[in-house]
Amino acid sequence: MMTSRPYDTYEQPSRWERPALASGIVFAVLQIAAIVFAAAFLLSKLPPVGAPLDEWAQALMRIPTMTVSMANYLLLLPVPFFLLFLGGLFGVLRRAEGGSGTLAVSALVAGIAMAMTWPFGILIAGISSSIVADGGDLATAWALDGMAPLSLALSAFPRTVLLVATSLLLLESRLAPRWIGWLGLLLAPVSLIGTGMLLVGDLFPILALGTLIFELWVLALSVSLVRRERTASQPAPQVAAAPRM
């Protein structure tokens, strides 16, 4: 049975902790906006999976190069804000856990690994449009284009660790509403199942759904922690002493 213990306040948080935690809000908003942009102006213009290479290449060439570059850039833009959020989250989790901070360190390392895995896939996938435009080998271009979803599936491994480590500390130390902790634990196996896209491409919808819910989870967690830090930083009201008779 999981027991809860009070949040350890023996160490005062850095004055940069609240801005770092608020970066999670910026990350989630930018990430969701980037996905919407890519879906509306890029993915919707491409043929379905399994279409002939010639049809895929022709559709890709009809998309303006600036649109492809903008979609890739917008998907990369949230990364620094997520890294800042991880720094603030680590400080909160480390104080809450105490001791060697095993779970807090695990969450930090997993978050960094997750944040840097998908961007590399996006950068590699972006080369495919240049290969097609220059008349290069379509099979090579198609393979490189597939690196984006594959790297997203790979990033779901550390995402699972981040979700489990963070959620356990949330539930144990009451850092946030309990539903955020339980949602994180429920989302962890969904993320792990999404990694199966590395073997079975049909699992991509589960991977995409887990990614979207994760971003909403980060948004909810960030808002909750920022509000908690603001409340904790407010001075306690002074109680006037009763007059002596």
Domain extent listing, the chain: 17-231
Show Cβ contacts of residue 11 under 8 Å, excluding neighbours closer than 6 positions: 95
Average pLDDT of the chain to the nearest whole number: 86
pLDDT reported for residue 182: 95
Residues 204 and 146: beta-carbon distance below 8 Å: no
* Mean pLDDT on 106-121: 93
Q: Report which DSSP code applies to 237.
A: P
Least confident of 53-57, 77-81, 109-113: 53-57
Most confident by average pLDDT, 5-14, 60-69, 204-213: 204-213
> What tokens does 69 get?
């570059």
φ, ψ dihedrals at 42, nearest 5° = -125, -65
Confidence class of residue 239 from pLDDT cuts 50, 70 and 90? very low
CA within 13 Å, CB half, 223: 10
pLDDT reported for residue 44: 82
pLDDT reported for residue 55: 82
pLDDT reported for residue 152: 94
Say which residue the tokens 């407010």 belong to: 234
Confidence class of residue 179 from pLDDT cuts 50, 70 and 90? very high
Confidence class of residue 67 from pLDDT cuts 50, 70 and 90? confident
Per-residue pLDDT for 237 more than 70? no
Three-state secondary structure call for residue 177: coil
Where in the chain does DSSP place strands (E)?
Answer: none
